[in-house]
Amino acid sequence: MCFALTEPDAGSDAQSIRSTATKDDNEWILNGTKHFITNGRDADFALVFAANDRSKKAQGHHRLHRREGDSGVHGRARSGGHGRGRGSVRARLRGLPRVGRAGPRGPANVGMGFYSAMQFLAMGRLSIGAICNGIADYCLELGTDYAKQRTAFDRPIGKNQYIQGHIVESLIEIKASRLMTYECAWKYDNGDPVIQESSIVKLYASEMANRVVDRMIQVHGGMGWMRDLPLERIYRFVRIFTLVEGTSEIQKYIIAKTLGL
């Protein structure tokens, strides 16, 4: 599947989407543009969000299910500078017809689209936390092994306190991030709302992974920047996680709102 929410003029401010869903008898006609649709080229169906009454903001959003490849959908791939997976797609919806009240994969939820998107994003943020934990753990393993094997001044570089500091700081941050993720996942599995917890996990884990990869490149010295090792590619790859599913700044905003600020 793919998730079509973001638009050229509506990223962090999802309530300002401009794609429209216009009622025609018992069907809805979609018009608009979506972009940064991960898996958009290969998905069997899409979860598309459009506004049926933009004056109502969050209450006027409409969730619709639509099969990939239907007439009226015109998409093109966008190259990802981070080199992530299959890349993303920008899609134009031009008079996309015959989206019924019960779409191919479920109902078209009038007025509940925005809230459905927020629930979906909470799960996505939790998933990103898990991904970042795994990436950081792998990079720490690479750095630790290298620090034991690489010698300078007649001893392994891992005996130097500066190198030990990079490794120990990374280990502590990974352990903290993993526990945050497990707690959030446990609450999610038990049906608890995890708006605050998922944003904390996403914010901390994505920033942590970037710090860990940066430190492990430092441990490797010049070799860490070479394409002979995977760290250079991972360094570019993890940068996206502070942006997708809501930027770090948006996560702080969400967390502040849960505190009543």
DSSP state of 10: B
DSSP 111: T
Within this chain, do residues 106 and 122 fall inside the same structural domain, yes or no?
A: no
Assign residue 85 the CATH number of its domain.
2.40.110.10
Name the residue with tokens 């809230």. 115
Total domains in the fold of the chain: 2
**CATH for 152:** 1.20.140.10
140/175 same-domain check: yes
pLDDT tens, N- to C-terminus, the chain (261 residues): 777 887 887 766 767 788 888 877 777 788 888 887 777 777 777 778 888 776 665 555 555 555 445 544 555 555 555 444 455 677 777 666 555 554 444 445 565 555 566 677 888 999 999 999 999 999 999 999 999 999 999 999 999 999 999 999 999 999 999 999 999 999 999 999 899 999 999 999 999 999 999 999 999 999 999 999 999 999 999 999 999 889 999 999 999 999 999
What is the token pair recorded at 256? Answer: 């502040």
For residue 46, what are the β-bridge partners? 2, 66
Any idea which residues carry the catalytic annotation? 245
Letter string b/e over residues 94-105, b meaning 16 or more CB atoms within 10 A of that residue's CB: eebeebeeebee
Domain span holding position 12: 2-110
Q: Could you say which of 83, 110, 137 is where a domain stops?
A: 110
Strands annotated E in 101-190: 102-103, 106-107, 109-110, 151-152, 155-156
Residues 145 and 40 in one domain: no
Residues 91 and 119 in one domain: no
Q: Which of 117, 109, 122 is nearest to 62 (CA)?
A: 109
Q: What are phi and psi of 226, to 5 degrees?
A: -80, 150
* Pair 139, 235 in one domain: yes
pTM assigned to the model: 0.79
41: helix, strand or coil: coil
Query: Of the candidates 54, 86, 110, which is a domain's last residue?
Result: 110
150 and 98 in a single domain? The answer is no
Residue 68: its pLDDT value, please? 46
